[in-house]
Structure formats: C-alpha cells, structure tokens
Amino acid sequence: MSLARVHAFAISLDGFGTGAGQSKDLHFGHAGDRLHQWRFATQSWQQTSGSRGIDNLFALEAGAEIGAEIMGAGKWGHPGWEDDPDWKGAWGANPPFHTPVFVLTHHPRPSIEMEGGTTFHFLDASPAEALEQARKAADGDDVRIGGGPTVIRDFLAAGLVDYMSVAIVPILLGRGVRLWDGLEGLEKTYDIESVASPSGIVHVTFTRTAT
Amino acid sequence: MSLARVHAFAISLDGFGTGAGQSKDLHFGHAGDRLHQWRFATQSWQQTSGSRGIDNLFALEAGAEIGAEIMGAGKWGHPGWEDDPDWKGAWGANPPFHTPVFVLTHHPRPSIEMEGGTTFHFLDASPAEALEQARKAADGDDVRIGGGPTVIRDFLAAGLVDYMSVAIVPILLGRGVRLWDGLEGLEKTYDIESVASPSGIVHVTFTRTAT
C-alpha cells in the first residue's frame, strides 16, 4: 500500500504555515525563515554537522521511501510565477526532491525535467486525482504531500492523508495562511502523539487509525 | 511585586479556547468538556485520587499565591446572563475561587458575596484599570487572569501578563473563540518552554523576560 504522508510541516504556535506577503524574495512572507531554522540546525540538513536529536529524526523521516511529491502552486513559485515562462521552482538546477513532483495549479505548463531526478509536472486536478497520478509515478513508494498549508488542509479535508507530522514553532506570526481551518474533528480518525524537543519545537504526529 | 498570571488555560490544537454556540447548558459551546477532561483526571481536581504527573503540577500551580482573579463576562455567565438578576455564576453557592473575583462586563451590577471567600465584583474597565483594582484586592498576592480567551488575549495585547501556561489539547474544534488572534511577535517578550505530557496534552509556558 502506497501511503500519502506529510512530514515535519512547520507551523507557528498560532497555526500559520506561511506568513503574509509572499513574494519572489520572501517565499514564506513575513515569516522569513523562522519556521524552518530548527530544521537547518539538524544533521539531515547540514550533513557533516548539526544536531542528531529528535528534530533530526523527524527531518530524516521526511525522505524515506518517498517516490513522488505533491505540492501547491504557492510552494512551487511566488505569486505571479505563471506569467514567468522561465521560472523553474525555488530550488535551483538540482532540487532536493529527486522524484517526480506534481504541482497543483490552475495554470498548467509542460513538464520540466531538472537535474538529480526531479521532474516537475503540472496538474489542474482534485486532491484525489492528483494522488492517483502521483501514486502511479511513485511506483510502489509513498507520496509526500509537501505543502503549503492550503494543499495539506485540502488533502486532510478529503481524508487522503495517512500520516502527518507537524512541527509547532514557538513564535506567533499573527497573519498568513492557517493550516487548521475547517478541520473540526480531525482527531477522530487519527492517533495523535506529541513530543517536545529541547530546541523548543513540539512535534505532533497523526497516524491514521485502522478503518 | 504582584504578578498577573494565566494558568493551565486549555485550547484546542487549532487554537480555540472555547467552542461555538455557548449557552446556559453548554458553557464551552460545542467543545463540551473536551478541553478540560485532562484536568478532571488530576489529583488536584479529584483530591483523593487522580494522576500526579505533569498535568497535575500545572493544575496545582494555578492556585498558588493567588489573591484575586479577573475573568470575562463570558466565563462568568452564558450569553444573556445580564438579563437574569438571579444569576450568580456557573459554580454554585461555594465557587472554587475563594478570593475576590473581578468580572469584566459592560453590564456591571452590585457585588455578590458567595460562600467560601469568593466575592464577585463587576467592572466596566480597561485591562490595566481592572488589574490595578484586582492587585489592591489581592493584598500582596498575585492576580490570576482566568479567561476566557478574549480576556486573556486582551491582557496579553496590553502587555500585562507576567506568566502564562497554556494546555494544548489534541483535538480540532474548528470553530469558537481563538486565543492567539492579533498577538504577532508575542515570543519577543517571553521565554517559551514546552513539555508534552503522556496524557497527550502539551503544556506551553510563557515567562516574561526581564525588561
């Protein structure tokens, strides 16, 4: 069974998965890199140095047995990317995905093959349709739902997420895009655990209960 | 120095301190008692039984060296209480406060002396004015800001809270009254720690940094 997984998705204490005012220079808006500094400090990010504690374990898990990613248009590009035919994503020539990546957008364009095994495909499709395509591409491995918050929320609302870990960062952004809107009762279909890291991050995991 | 303290204030994972649809029978609206079951399980609540772990420690701390409480009208009574001259709060003849309690309301009424040392006073005042009055009544002890979420948020926004512990309950209410709205940057003036209880509750503490 190929699972749909969300990993180490960072939100502020007040629930924002990205800040307000996203632009080409501010991929997370006024949040800057404050939602992700904990991850930059880990061995999985730094490779030859970095912490190997609980934050690192959650970061490491994000890449294991993933055969494809689904992301939203707001993760792939800044507002207005659809008018920039040369835009190839925010990660340079060799993006860190190394798998097919399905970008959900109302402005699909031809697929873009990057270095290192990443190919961006563009879909104007429902979450269920996108997951079906991504599963085929994943060839038996799992599919990561990579965000942003709107996409994760849509997949959760559609009942399509098998596992999710959320990293709550102890800052209050006050504005931006919320992860949790409209998900009343989500706890009924998941086992939820929490662990507080000495770094200040709280990792909350959602594991789908047997149905 | 008499501190203003918030203790063990329970919110859902999506940040609601009370549910939607509050009424005489549903003090917390559709949340029911789901935000507070963790507290009912503690020794401090049950007295002769109950857990003595980390949840109990946070519950116990709520009462220590408190000389007065400030609460909102929505905690003191259901919507419409101002039209009920016989309403004396939701806690029966001997409320659990045992101190002066200042109820913030645009509908003040004469003070009500209850059994056990609790007296309800009614103030149409700003947070700073209310805190000044409560401090006088507390006679050297601290003042608890008792909620609901709107009142705590107003005191935080006014920079009046010295210490706060929040208990994040792993449920998604989806609707109700949010604690965190409009508090961008709150972390700049507090040291924040988190601890996950085996019960599933995450306790987040805010200790004001020296200024």
SS (H, E, C) A114-131: CHHHCEEEEECCCHHHHH
CB contact under 8 A, A183 and B14: yes
pLDDT band per the 50, 70, 90 thresholds, residue A210: confident
pLDDT of residue B211: 63
Can you name the residues that pair with A18 across neighbouring β-strands?
A177
A89 prior amide bond cis, ω within 30:
no
Q: Is B124 helix (H, G, I), strand (E, B) or coil?
A: coil
Question: Do strands A177-178 and A66-72 pair parallel, antiparallel, or not at all (unpaired)?
Answer: unpaired
Residue A126 predicted with pLDDT over 80: yes
Taking CA A203 as the corner, what is the angle to CA A200 and CA A207, rounded to the nearest 5 degrees? 175
Our CA-based measurement puts residue A188 at a distance from the nearest CA of chain B, in whole angstroms, of 8
What are the residues whose beta carbons fall under 8 Å from the beta carbon of B45, sequence distance 6 or more?
B39, B59
How many domains does chain A divide into? 1
Residue A85: CB atoms within 10 A of its CB come to 8
- Chain A CB contacts of B29 under 8 Å are none
> Is B68 within 8 Å of B138 (Cβ atoms)?
yes
Residue located via tokens 């800040």: A19
Our CA-based measurement puts residue A56 at a distance from the nearest CA of chain B, in whole angstroms, of 18
Our CA-based measurement puts residue B154 at a distance from the nearest CA of chain A, in whole angstroms, of 14
Residue A204 predicted with pLDDT over 90: yes
**Residues from B in contact with A at Cβ < 8 Å:** 13-15, 168, 170-175, 180-187, 192-196, 200, 202, 204
d(CA A34, CA A7) in angstroms, rounded, equals: 17
Dihedral sign, Cα of residue B89, residue B95, residue B97, residue B100: positive
Tell which of A13, A179, A189, A192 to mutate to test the B interface (max B CBs under 10 Å): A13
> Residue A178: closest CA among chain B residues belongs to which residue?
B14
What are the residues whose beta carbons fall under 8 Å from the beta carbon of B1, sequence distance 6 or more?
none
d(CA B208, CA B211) in angstroms, rounded, equals: 8
A to B CB pairs, distance under 8 Å: 73
CB contact under 8 A, A14 and B15: yes
- Domain that includes residue B66, residue range: 4-208
Burial of A39 (0-12, 13-18, 19+ CB in 10 A): buried
Using CA atoms in the order B11, B171, A207, A155, what is the torsion angle rounded to 10 degrees? -100
CB contact under 8 A, A185 and B174: yes
DSSP assigned state of B176: S
Residue A185 predicted with pLDDT over 90: yes
Residue A111 predicted with pLDDT over 70: yes
- Chain B CB contacts of A181 under 8 Å are 14
Nearest CB to B172 within list A172, A184, A195: A184
Name the token pair of B44: 């401090």
Nearest CB to B185 within list A172, A193, A194: A172
d(CA B59, CA B43) in angstroms, rounded, equals: 9
CB contact under 8 A, B185 and A204: no
Q: In what order do the strands lie in the sheet with B142-145?
A: B112-113, B119-123, B100-104, B66-72, B142-145, B4-12, B163-169, B202-208, B190-196
Residue A1 predicted with pLDDT over 90: no
Q: What are phi and psi of B153, to 5 degrees?
A: -60, -45
CB contact under 8 A, A183 and B15: no
Q: What is the CATH number of the domain that holds A51?
A: 3.40.430.10
ipTM of this predicted structure:
0.92
CB contact under 8 A, A13 and B204: yes
A148 prior amide bond cis, ω within 30:
yes
pLDDT of residue B91: 95
> Residue A206: closest CA among chain B residues belongs to which residue?
B170
d(CA B81, CA A15) in angstroms, rounded, equals: 33
Q: Kindly list the averaged pLDDT for each block of 10 residues, start to end, along chain B of length 211.
A: 96 98 93 97 95 96 96 94 93 97 97 98 98 97 97 98 98 98 97 97 95 63
> What is the radius of gyration, based on Cα positions, of chain B?
16
d(CA B55, CA B195) in angstroms, rounded, equals: 10
Supply the DSSP string of B14-66, one letter for each residue.
T-EEE-SS--SS-TTGGGTTTTTHHHHTBHHHHSSSSB-SHHHHHHHHTTTTE
- Chain B CB contacts of A195 under 8 Å are 196
pLDDT of residue A50: 95
Q: Is B128 helix (H, G, I), strand (E, B) or coil?
A: helix
pLDDT of residue B1: 85
> Is B78 within 8 Å of B22 (Cβ atoms)?
yes
> Residue A193: closest CA among chain B residues belongs to which residue?
B200
CB contact under 8 A, B183 and A174: yes
Q: pLDDT of A134-152, one tens digit each?
A: 999 999 999 999 999 999 9
pLDDT of residue A211: 63
> Residue A166: closest CA among chain B residues belongs to which residue?
B13
Q: Is B171 helix (H, G, I), strand (E, B) or coil?
A: coil
> Is B146 within 8 Å of A137 (Cβ atoms)?
no
**Residues from A in contact with B at Cβ < 8 Å:** 13-15, 168, 170-175, 180-187, 192-196, 200, 202, 204
Our CA-based measurement puts residue A200 at a distance from the nearest CA of chain B, in whole angstroms, of 6
Our CA-based measurement puts residue B110 at a distance from the nearest CA of chain A, in whole angstroms, of 38
For residues A75-95, give the mean pLDDT. 94
Nearest CB to B192 within list A170, A175, A181: A170
